[in-house]
Structure 1
Amino acid sequence: MAEHGAHITVASVVDDQPSIFEVVAQDSLMTAVRPALQHLVKVLAESHPAHYGFFWRWFDEIFTFLDLLLQQHYLSKTSASFSENFYGLKRIVMGDTHKLQRLASAGLPKQQLWKSILFLVLIPYLKVKLEKLVSSLKEEDQYSIHPPSSHWKRFYRAFLAVYPFVNMAWEGWFLIPQLRYILGKAQHHSPLLRLAGVRLGRLTLQDIQDLEHKPAEGSTKQLSASVSEKIKSVLKKAMGGVALSLSTGLSVGVFFLQFLEWWYSSENQETIKSLTALPIPPPPIHLDYNSDSPLLPKMKTVCPLCRKTRVNDTVLATSGYVFCYRCVFNYVRSHQACPITGYPTEVQHLIKLYSPEN
């Protein structure tokens, strides 16, 4: 099996087609960015709802707008989406031969550009909205006050019954091309790429050189232009370093916030208490009664310390035995232990009992 996987990878390198690992990795990049940013906005909105509540309520729309700007910039400048460019890939128009391929810096033609933006930005937005709608309908179905015979309730119950099959068909629509891509039977790992009229390929050496030196074109025409290009290059590198630092810090910060949220969650606290709680002590061993040992008297209403009928009944929380308040208070303050079991005890462990007769 390993030899077969190696054969597939080598074959993809030869015909300039990326491996399944590369295309799946670039698909996962943007899907990982969204929940990280969403969690960050959620924490900010919970800490300062007046300032950041707007961003939480309209997070999907704001993220979609920023994603639209980001993808449009990369598709027009590098012929690839943000994640595809990150992994050194580009979009190639179907029908272009190896010799007639456009350089990545030329960008995609308008038709393929807007189709790519549609499938990269609008489809994920609609999918997120549909999932939220299904979640809200499930809650309404459970807690709704609509009568069971109402048309609305029958409609969304039918919708909830059909949705799992529609979702399964959607996932299968993507799974089949991926399997064919792994076996070398298809040029597209996603049906959306076929609909956009493009396929994925690796950046060539000429593409990389052109992307790196494109900002410096025309720098030899005049000295002032050269200086301005150098300044722009320095600023671009500085901004790139700042962007990299921010992205790294954001990833680490989001991970830390998720860890804190998990650590202080109610479920985790119960687990921690169960793991760190002291074991239940065994019941005390009853020895023979004698006059020198403060053991249990035969009558339940007698204090084990003064051997008289109890006054102001007080129980020790550490052992459960009942004494006179004055007797057990003095004993615990002097010995810091239960008179019967010897368990470590403090004064705050005394609990006074009030019976209806009193």
Structure 2
Amino acid sequence: MAERGAHLTTAAADDRPSIFEVLAQESLMGAVRPALRHAVKVLAESNPSRYGFLLRRFDEIYVVLDLLLQHHFLSRTSGSFSENFYSLKRASSSGSEKPAHLGLGGKSHWRSLLLLALVPYLRAKMEQVLAKQRDEDEFSIRLPQSRMQRMYRAFLAAYPYVSMAWDSWVFCQQLLYVFGRARTHSPFLWLAGVQLSHLTGHDIRNMDLKPATPSAGVGSSIGDRLRKLTSNVVGGVAVSLSSSLSMGVFFLQFLEWWYSSENQSTMKSLTTLPTPPPPVHLQDHASKHSKVCPLCRKCRTNDTVLSTSGFVFCYRCIYVYVKANMRCPMTGYPTELQHLIKIYSPES
């Protein structure tokens, strides 16, 4: 039985990558994003006033850098960053193949760039909006809705089913690829009109010997100079990132595991210390200010605590503030809506 199934995990005679290779290159970029996000989170928590915006705008900053990185590798190696890391390249599904060092080019280049960077960004944004919508439904926040808002909520209600259908398509495409019934393992590659193959020795030699971009001459236009300067800067950043990730890819995957939710729950149970008592000088004023919301300065209603700082507010006050500013109003710590915890008293 093992011999009969061995061909499913090895490269085919037509130089198709194995299923392990294509899934490994996909998981590489999936490991980079959470590791970078955690590094930015640590930096923002160390100085919220200076670096807090990096965490609040992390998705936008990441997608811009990802676009530049993927554009560079598609133009220089005919593959994405992770595909080049595993010595893979993209070739046209029509059968016309050109040397990898000349770049992908044409519509396939821009389709690949769109599907590699923008589509995952839009999907991540949709997941965040859906999570916020669930929070509003859970706390029964109902505002007057217009027709567009009702259509928006209907779209959010249908999105999980669309996502499930997409994941089913991906799974079926991978099964067909394993059994040799499909040329691509991902619908993204099919939509881009390309397929994956291994880099040849000729491709690698050409990429190593490819001359650098020539310096701008006296007669060059300002636009040409700017394009060449941008290409050199992006190329230098991409090469540096490639070299650093080549040495640190296993470390990044370790970070992804270390800061996963399952592992964090285990670590917290082993390392969490008892909460220290409040300062003595605050106990005299505890009865006077115990029911005052720090935001509206009125008696609190629907008490809600921020898990990031421990301060208690009115639910509506802190919900509106965190949704707009993404930080604690008292400490400035980066905060999201899932950090709001409802307090239930014995009388309620």
TM bin, normalised by shorter chain, reads 0.5 to 0.7
Q: Paired residue for 1:75? A: 74
Q: What's the CA shift for 1:192?
A: 1.3
Equivalent residue for 1:122, pick from 118, 124, 128: 118
* % same residue: 49
Q: Paired residue for 1:25? A: 24
Secondary structure in 2 aligned to 1:105? helix
Listed one character per residue, the Cα deviations across residues 114-137 of structure 1 (whole Å, up to 9, x for unaligned) are 010010011000000000000000
Matches of 2:253 and 2:186, distance apart in 1: 30
CA contact (8 A) 2:31 2:252 kept: no
Taking a change above 3 Å as real, the CA distance of residues 154 and 177 of structure 1, as seen in their structure-2 partners, is same
Letter in 2 for 1:133: V
How big is the alpha-carbon RMSD for the aligned residues of Structure 1 and Structure 2?
Answer: 3.7
Taking a change above 3 Å as real, the CA distance of residues 190 and 5 of structure 1, as seen in their structure-2 partners, is same
Query: What runs of 5+ residues in structure 2 fail to find an aligned partner?
Result: 215-234, 274-348
Q: Which moved more, 1:62-71 or 1:188-197?
A: 188-197
Matches of 1:33 and 1:39, distance apart in 2: 10
Q: What's the CA shift for 1:205?
A: 1.4
Letter in 2 for 1:142: E
Q: What's the CA shift for 1:165?
A: 1.7
How many residues matched? 252
Matches of 1:30 and 1:50, distance apart in 2: 29
Q: Paired residue for 2:44? A: 45
CA contact (8 A) 2:77 2:102 kept: yes
Query: What runs of 5+ residues in structure 1 fail to find an aligned partner?
Result: 219-235, 275-358
Q: What's the CA shift for 1:143?
A: 1.6
Equivalent residue for 2:167, pick from 171, 193, 196: 171
Equivalent residue for 1:187, pick from 179, 183, 204: 183
Secondary structure in 1 aligned to 2:211? helix
CA contact (8 A) 1:138 1:160 kept: no
Matches of 1:147 and 1:193, distance apart in 2: 42
Taking a change above 3 Å as real, the CA distance of residues 146 and 117 of structure 1, as seen in their structure-2 partners, is same
CA contact (8 A) 1:105 1:207 kept: yes
Q: Which moved more, 1:81-90 or 1:13-22?
A: 13-22
Taking a change above 3 Å as real, the CA distance of residues 181 and 272 of structure 1, as seen in their structure-2 partners, is same
Q: Paired residue for 2:193? A: 197
Secondary structure in 1 aligned to 2:90? strand
Letter in 2 for 1:210: N
Q: Paired residue for 1:290? A: none
Q: Paired residue for 2:287? A: none
Structure ID, larger Rg = 1
Q: What's the CA shift for 1:247?
A: 6.7
1:139 has 2:141 as partner: no
Taking a change above 3 Å as real, the CA distance of residues 38 and 241 of structure 1, as seen in their structure-2 partners, is closer
Q: What's the CA shift for 1:108?
A: 1.0
1:6 has 2:2 as partner: no
Taking a change above 3 Å as real, the CA distance of residues 83 and 130 of structure 1, as seen in their structure-2 partners, is same
CA contact (8 A) 2:34 2:256 kept: no
Q: What's the CA shift for 1:215?
A: 2.9
TM-score by length of 2: 0.62
Listed one character per residue, the Cα deviations across residues 141-184 of structure 1 (whole Å, up to 9, x for unaligned) are 11243269997896676555433322210101111111000000
CA contact (8 A) 2:99 2:203 kept: yes
Listed one character per residue, the Cα deviations across residues 216-248 of structure 1 (whole Å, up to 9, x for unaligned) are 899xxxxxxxxxxxxxxxxx99x9688635774
Matches of 1:147 and 1:217, distance apart in 2: 57
Taking a change above 3 Å as real, the CA distance of residues 272 and 208 of structure 1, as seen in their structure-2 partners, is closer
Matches of 1:82 and 1:20, distance apart in 2: 18
Matches of 2:180 and 2:57, distance apart in 1: 42
Bigger relative contact order, structure 1 or 2 (CA pairs below 8 A, ≥6 apart): 2
Equivalent residue for 1:112, pick from 98, 108, 114: 108
Matches of 1:260 and 1:96, distance apart in 2: 43
Q: What's the CA shift for 1:2?
A: 2.9
CA contact (8 A) 2:37 2:58 kept: yes
Q: What's the CA shift for 1:6?
A: 1.8
